[in-house]
């Protein structure tokens, strides 16, 4: 019998939550033979109707393909799902959000079970999957050889960025970016609270806020350059002494608007500490070092 050489590499996907389902649809759309498994079987039914093979057990899904992708709630659910499953010779790609330490431990665990392991951190929400122009991607870390072997298949649902052999690096990049995102949302929440009781349309205010945050976000390049060189006074535009002098205005405005300063005060406190340590001619870069324990 002649093998169909145009057949795409098969994929087994464990976990059909919002993200897993979106990933599954992208691989199905690209005509990859796809086997799916989910703890709650009903969540696999629609995908079965769309062409996926539905495995009755996690072991069955793992046995079907060399490439096994996991997209589960957390690291604990990965352990529970693969408990007792034969992983010998399998290439595991774990897209579940974990800590860097959990990813490293999971890589060592997989190796002991005879599998190869690549960790992933998804920088996208489900509607961005299968939509290249949405700009989503997944950080990957662990075996570079494994990443290169499956690069094309992994790039089907969303972009890929390989960040190193250390299996914990994908999770670290993921959590670092998401942490920055929460800081940004915290700032935006404070800004909306300041205008909340005024006759200012939040819908008209939003583009002003988004454009300002976008412009200021470019400042991270200067921060990175100063962290790398160690010269925190280089190319400073707005020095720390001036910025700390302005913080009472921000706190008084919050007070005047009846807004709690609980989101911004801790950051102002770090700025003040850096100033008192002699960082007046620097910008905000020195705050990074104050956070290191």
Residue written as tokens 């860097």? Answer: 100
Could you give the CA distance from residue 147 to residue 120 in angstroms, rounded to a whole number? 10
- How many amino acids of this chain bind ligand FVH (CB under 6 A)? 22
Q: Which is nearer to ligand FVH, 183 or 248 (CB)?
A: 183
Cα(190)–Cα(184) distance, integer angstroms: 10
Which H helix or E strand runs over 105?
helix 100-112
Tell me if 39 contacts ligand FVH by CB under 6 A: yes
In 3D space, the residue among 27, 32, 35, 28 whose CA is nearest the CA of residue 57 turns out to be 35
Please report whether residue 247 would count as binding ligand FVH according to CB under 6 A: no
Task: Give yes or no for residue 61 binding ligand FVH (CB under 6 A).
Answer: no
Residue 64 binds to ligand FVH (criterion: CB under 6 A): no
- Which of 108, 125, 220, 245 is the binder for ligand FVH (CB under 6 A)? 125
Contacts with ligand FVH, 271-290, as mask; x by CB under 6 A: --------------------
* Residue in the shown chain whose Cβ atom is closest to ligand FVH: 17
Q: Binding ligand FVH by CB under 6 A: which of 12, 27, 34, 38?
A: 38
Tokens of 58: 């996690």
Residue at token pair 């100033």? 275
Token pair 């993921």 is found at 174
Can you tell me the distance from the alpha carbon of 114 to that of 95, in angstroms, rounded to the nearest whole number? 19
Enter the tokens of residue 155: 């790039």
Q: Is 40 in the site for ligand FVH (CB under 6 A)?
A: yes
Residues 87-106, interacting with ligand FVH (CB under 6 A): 96-97
Query: Quick one: tokens of 84?
Result: 């007792």
- The Cα 90–Cα 139 span in angstroms is 20
Q: Does 59 sit near ligand FVH (CB under 6 A)?
A: no
In the chain, the N- to C-terminal Cα span, in Å, equals: 64
Between 14 and 254, whose beta carbon lies closer to ligand FVH? 14
Residue 17 in contact with ligand FVH, rule: CB under 6 A: yes
Residue 109 or 250: which CB sits closer to ligand FVH?
Answer: 109
Cβ proximity to ligand FVH: between 122 and 254 the closer is 122
79 binds ligand FVH (CB under 6 A): no
| Residue closer to ligand FVH (CB basis): 159 or 261 | 159
Residues 181-206 as b/e (b if ≥16 CB within 10 A, e otherwise) read: eeeeeebeebbeebbeeeeeeeeeee
Establish if 77 lies at the interface with ligand FVH (CB under 6 A).
yes
For ligand FVH, the binding residues (CB under 6 A) are 15-20, 38-40, 43, 71-74, 77, 80-81, 96-97, 122, 125-126
């Amino acid at each position: 019998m002649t093998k169909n050489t145009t057949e795409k590499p098969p994929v087994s996907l464990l976990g059909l939550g919002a993200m897993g389902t979106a990933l599954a649809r992208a691989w199905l759309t690209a005509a990859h033979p796809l086997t799916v498994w989910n703890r709650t079987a009903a969540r696999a039914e629609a995908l079965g109707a769309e062409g996926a093979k539905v495995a009755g057990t996690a072991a069955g899904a793992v046995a079907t393909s060399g490439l096994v992708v996991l997209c589960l709630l957390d690291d604990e659910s990965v352990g529970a799902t693969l408990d007792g499953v034969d992983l010998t010779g399998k290439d595991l790609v774990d897209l579940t959000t974990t800590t860097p330490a959990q990813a490293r431990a999971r890589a060592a665990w997989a190796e002991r079970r005879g599998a190869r392991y690549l960790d992933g951190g998804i920088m996208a929400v489900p509607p961005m999957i299968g939509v290249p122009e949405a700009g989503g991607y997944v950080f990957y870390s662990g075996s570079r050889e494994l990443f290169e072997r499956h690069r094309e298949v992994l790039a089907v649902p969303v972009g890929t960025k390989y960040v190193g052999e250390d299996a914990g690096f994908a999770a670290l990049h993921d959590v670092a970016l998401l942490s920055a995102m929460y800081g940004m949302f915290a700032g935006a929440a404070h800004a909306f609270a300041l205008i909340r009781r005024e006759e200012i349309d939040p819908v008209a205010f939003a583009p002003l806020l988004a454009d300002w945050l976008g412009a200021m976000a470019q400042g991270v390049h200067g921060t990175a350059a100063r962290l790398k060189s160690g010269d925190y006074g280089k190319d400073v535009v707005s020095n720390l002494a001036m910025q700390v002098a302005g913080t009472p205005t921000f706190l008084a405005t919050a007070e005047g608007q009846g807004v709690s300063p609980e989101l911004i005060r801790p950051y102002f406190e770090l700025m003040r500490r850096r100033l008192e340590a002699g960082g007046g001619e620097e910008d905000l870069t020195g705050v990074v070092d104050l956070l290191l324990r």
